Structures are given as C-alpha cells and as structure tokens.
Chain A
C-alpha cells in the first residue's frame, strides 16, 4: 500500500495543516510517512501545496510526481495537479471555488462544495476538514478517529481542542457528500 497525495490551494486555506493531519495520523497507525511542503517564493494569496506519502514500506522519494490522490482547493491547483494523477486515482475538487469540471475520464472525481458547507457550519476555516472528510470516506487511508483523537491536537495544539466538535462535523459533512 502506498498513497501518494498532493494537497493544494491558496495560502491560508489550510492545505499544509491538512497534510500534516494525514501524515501524523499515518505515523500513529504505524505506517511510513513523509510530508513535503512547497516552499518556493510566493506572493500573498499565492498557491501552496504539500506532498504526503503514507506507505506500508519505507518511503523513497518524498516528491510526488505520480499521485494516487489529489485534493485541490482552488482553480490554479486543479490546472496544475490534475494531470499528475495516475489512472484509477482520485481527485477531490472544492467546487465552491472551482468553476470547471475535471477533464480526466480515467480517474474518480468528487465535487465537494467545501466552503459552502463550512460556512453553513459557521466557520469558513473548516473547509479543509470538509475536503479531508471526503478524502477519508473515499480512500480509508487513515481512520477518522485517528485524525480526531490523536492528530488534531498534535498538529494544532491542545489550546485548539475546543474546536474539535466543529471539525468533527466538517469531516462528517465531507464524508456524506462522497456517500451520496
């Protein structure tokens, strides 16, 4: 088993944190993991992405050139990473902010109105968790309970523990979209 995941969006959409949650959860579940951020020079509001690998074997290259899954939070990210998905892979599109459909026919595509759902929940900043919920429902790479019970406070700190309920709800809503 090796999941090679690209998570991409604007700076501030929580793509790095989403990647860290997955990576930490993978480690907690005794898998080999790596998290590699893009760290190039960027303007404010520019794009950010990270590569996450969760594997039953030791991780080789931490760079994802051929992905098994891509999560995109904005249009430039879709344009850039759609083509990296290997045939049969999965693409998760934040349809609140991305106005086009995928042109790939050899992959599974999920459209998740993440910002709308997050706003309905009362906090636009949990849009990344909605995407994560959809991703976990479709892939089962790590358990939702590992994300909520172990990874969340490890990544965001104990003083963010009060935000767990809304994040749990966001994960659930994302999962519902995938279940249909």
Chain B
C-alpha cells in the first residue's frame, strides 16, 4: 500500500480500525480530540460503535465491559483524562482484560496546559491506579512506528490478557508524517474462552472480577499476575540503540524527545563527538539490559525528557552506578532544543558536569 500523509491522532484511529478494533469509548480533550473525531466518523462504517461517554470514568468502565465480553476495544485521552481513568485501568488489569489505552500527554500537574509533555511516565510505568499491576507501555517516536505498535499492541493485549498503553505527546498527535499501513505480522492469540458471551446453557458462567475477599486467594491471584509480568519482561522488551559501544556520551530519550536527540547527535558527530543513543520503545518492560552494552569508558549518560526527571530513575537503575547519570529536561509544554542537548553533551565531554 502507498504512503499517505496523516496527522498522528488520525493515524492512531486508522491503525486501530485496521487492527480490528470495533469499539471506542472516550471523552474529548486536547491534544487528542482528532482521534475520537476520526473514530466517530469511521467506526460506524466498519460496523463498529463510537460512543462519547459522559465522562472519562464512564468511558473506561465501558471499555472494561466491552473487554470483558471479549471485544477488541480502546479508549484515548490526554493526561488529566487518563488520571480520571486510573481506577478503571486498575480494575481492567486486575480482571486481566485486554484493551488499548492511548495517552497523548500534555503539561501537568492538574489541568496543566495543552502543549506536549512527557510528565506521565511515572503514572504509565508505575501504575497510576492502586495495586501491584503493570501495563505494557509503548512510546513511539514517529507516526509510522505508532501505527505499527497500535496494530501489534492489540495482539499483545490479547496474548497476555493485559491492558496496553500507547504513550505519545501532543507533538506526535498533532504532526503529520507519511505512513504506510502494512499487513501486520499476527501473533498466536489464544481463544477468549473467558469472555462473558453467554453460556448458551452449555457451560458455567464466566465471571469478570477484580475482587477477592480471601487474602489467600488474592495473594495467589497476584502471584499469577507477577508470573505473567515476568513473561512479558522476558519477551516484549523493545529498544532502539545507536553507537553505544563506542560512545563517549550516551543519550537516553524516548518518544518525540528521542528525535530531537537524534538531530543533536547528527550535529555533534559532524563536530567529531562520539555520542550514542538508547531509545526505549517499551517503557514497561524497560530495556535495562541494553545499558550493559555501553562503552565501559563512557563519560556519562544524559537523559532527556519533557518533564523534570522521571525515566532518569530507570536509567539509574539500569547503569547500576557504573556511569554518572545526568538529566536535561523542559516541562510545562516547552520542548527541548537540539542546541540545548548539544550544550549538555559538550559539558559532559569536557568534565564540566
């Protein structure tokens, strides 16, 4: 199929429909509203349902219901709206249901701003809801990758019976890039024999639930969840790295910020600097092992984020104290410039920081 020029938010919708998503429940919020708008227009054409709920809380619980019935379902929002959805997300994770959740992040805390940010890293990777649960979190850096990850993300959700989150920001939602919808490599997906589709008088009722009154039962359930998370950690880590075996400084950044880092790296290379990049594509499970491949004589790691320092904690865990870990970030909707990243890299090379 030929390349088309699409806005990020619309490309998410097109990818979801291509992946067989039939149900979208959401509530509008900038900077992702083109996505529900697209779904409102396009889902009915494929026999699906778009429903604008009365609130984000209602929307995520509709997702809970549809996922429980075995449907391929998604929701999307931006930071404050995702905060409202946390209770439902925790229930969905507890009940082990597959769904796709898109967070096109904006500045925070609170209502914050409508400009791009990455301030929900902790919320996405540590669980904004209660309980010991995990989401598979993808952080695409361009629209093509976002489309590919959405199509695969639905399969990952089904394979592990776990919610999957696509973590983007206002920039990737609003920008346009060429994108190609490739036929996806499909995974082996187990049949949804747990779904509440009616017994037909032939089996015992399936029950979708996250409540376990007996402590022993809940502990056993948690142990089962952890075993599943271990399997995800073993099989689903994704990372892009560049020149880390030879680098004097390695930049670690994800999503659109990683693109800005790449522009900085190209300029630094033209001036003779050796700079590598580790770009986590899955923020959970995190690519800790990739950091073990870094040049042992590397002078330091520079983490760049559109927040005041969140993924930097995972970078510190990953390097196990072997390298100094520095941070540079902009927040509130401000975007780091390649020039500022270059300045920070030069300071590390010169031993100034």
Residues of A within 8 A of B (CB): 20, 23-24, 27, 32-37, 39-41, 59-63, 65-66, 154
Please report which residues of chain B, range 287-332, place their CB below 8 angstroms from some CB of chain A when the two chains form the complex.
Answer: none
Q: Is the CB of B335 within 8 A of A63?
A: yes
Judge whether B176 is part of the interface by a CB distance below 8 angstroms: yes
Judge whether B114 is part of the interface by a CB distance below 8 angstroms: yes
Quote the shortest CB–CB distance from B29 to chain A (angstroms): 13
Known: A60-B266, A62-B259. A35 touches B175 (CB 8 A): yes
Quote the shortest CB–CB distance from A167 to chain B (angstroms): 19
Quote the shortest CB–CB distance from B10 to chain A (angstroms): 13
Q: Which residues of B contact A36 (CB under 8 A)?
A: 171, 174-176
Question: B170 is contacted by which of A23, A33, A39, A65 (Cβ under 8 Å)?
Answer: A39
Name the interface size band of chain B: 20 to 34
Q: Is the CB of A39 within 8 A of B335?
A: no
Quote the shortest CB–CB distance from A22 to chain B (angstroms): 11
Interface of B is mostly: mixed
Residues of B within 8 A of A (CB): 3, 5, 30-31, 114-115, 142, 170-171, 174-178, 256, 259-260, 262-263, 266, 335, 337-339
Q: Is the CB of A33 within 8 A of B175?
A: no
Q: Is the CB of A59 within 8 A of B339?
A: no
A32 to B177, CA, bound (A): 9
Quote the shortest CB–CB distance from A3 to chain B (angstroms): 14
Q: Which residues of A contact B174 (CB under 8 A)?
A: 36-37, 39
Quote the shortest CB–CB distance from B179 to chain A (angstroms): 10
A33 to B115, CA, bound (A): 22
Q: Which residues of B contact A20 (CB under 8 A)?
A: 5, 176
Q: Is the CB of B114 within 8 A of A62?
A: no
What 11 additional pairs, Cβ within 8 angstroms, besides A59-B142, A59-B177? Answer: A27-B178, A35-B5, A35-B176, A39-B170, A39-B174, A40-B115, A59-B259, A61-B259, A63-B337, A65-B339, A154-B5
Question: A60 is contacted by which of B3, B115, B171, B260 (Cβ under 8 Å)?
Answer: B260
Which A-B residue pairs are the 7 nearest by beta carbons?
A: A60-B263, A35-B176, A61-B260, A60-B262, A61-B263, A36-B175, A27-B178
A23 to B143, CA, bound (A): 15
Known: A40-B114, A59-B259, A60-B266. A65 touches B338 (CB 8 A): yes
